[in-house]
Amino acid sequence: MKDGFIKVAAGSPKLKVADCIYNREEILKGIREMEMHQAKIMVFPELCITGYTCGDLFWQEQLLKVAKEQLIVLAEETVHTDALIFVGLPWEQSGKLYNVAAVLNHGEILGIIPKKCLPTYAEFYEGRHFTPGDEDIIFTEVNGKSVPFGINQFFACEEMPRLLVAAEICEDLWVPNPPSVRHCMEGATVVVNLSASDEVTGKSLYRKSLVQNQSARLICGYIYATAGDGESTTDLVFGGHNLIAENGTVLSEAKRFVNQTIYGDLDVSRIISERRKMTTFGPQTRKGYQVTSFSVKEEDTKLERYFDPKPFVPSSKEDRDRRCDEILMIQAMGLKKRLEHTKCKSAVIGISGGLDSTLALLVIARAFDLLGLPREQILSVTMPCFGTTDRTYTNACTLTNRLGATLKEVDIKEAVRVHFKDIDHDENVHDVTYENSQARERTQILMDLANQSNGMVIGTGDLSELALGWATYNGDHMSMYAVNASIPKTLVRHLVRYYADTCGDEQLEKVLLDVLDTPVSPELLPPENGVISQKTEDLVGPYELHDFFLYYMQRAGFAPKKLYRVACHAFAGTYENDEILKWLKTFYWRYFAQQFKRSCLPDGPKVGSVAVSPRGDLRMPSDACVRIWREELDAL
For the chain, helix (H) and strand (E) counts, in that order, are 19, 20
- Beta-bridge mates of residue 10: 43, 262
With vertex at residue 465, the alpha carbon angle to CA 462 and CA 471, rounded to the nearest 5 degrees, is: 105
Catalytic residue among 7, 40, 68, 115: 115
Q: How many CB atoms lie within 10 A of CB 528?
A: 10
Task: Map residue 561 onto helix, strand or coil.
Answer: helix
DSSP line for 217-255: HTTSEEEEEE--GGG-BTTB-B----EEEETTEEEEEPP
Nearest to 483 by CA among 333, 331, 376, 309: 331
Known catalytic residue: 317?
no
Query: For 132-240, where are the alpha helices, taking DSSP H only?
Result: 179-185, 203-217
Catalytic residue among 170, 184, 220, 324: 170
Nearest to 335 by CA among 348, 322, 321: 348
Extract the runs of DSSP E, i.e. beta strands, from 298-363: 346-350
Extract the runs of DSSP E, i.e. beta strands, from 159-202: 164-169, 190-195
Rounded CA separation 199/257 (Å): 10
Catalytic residue among 7, 20, 26, 46: 46
Known catalytic residue: 126?
no
What's the DSSP call for residue 601? P
Amino acid symbol at 204: S
Would you say how long the chain is, in residues?
A: 636
- Three-state secondary structure readout of 49-76: CCCHHHHHHHHCHHHHHHHHHHHHHHHH
Rounded CA separation 244/40 (Å): 14
Amino acid symbol at 422: D
String of b and e for 408-432 (b: at least 16 CB within 10 Å)? bebebeebbeebbeeeebeeeeeee
Sequence-separated (6 or more) residues with CB below 8 Å from residue 149: 93, 100, 111, 112, 113, 114, 137, 138, 139, 140
Q: Are 489 and 462 in contact (CB under 8 A)?
A: yes
Q: Are 590 and 540 in contact (CB under 8 A)?
A: yes
Known catalytic residue: 170?
yes
Rounded CA separation 289/292 (Å): 9
Question: Which residues are identified as catalytic?
Answer: 46, 115, 170
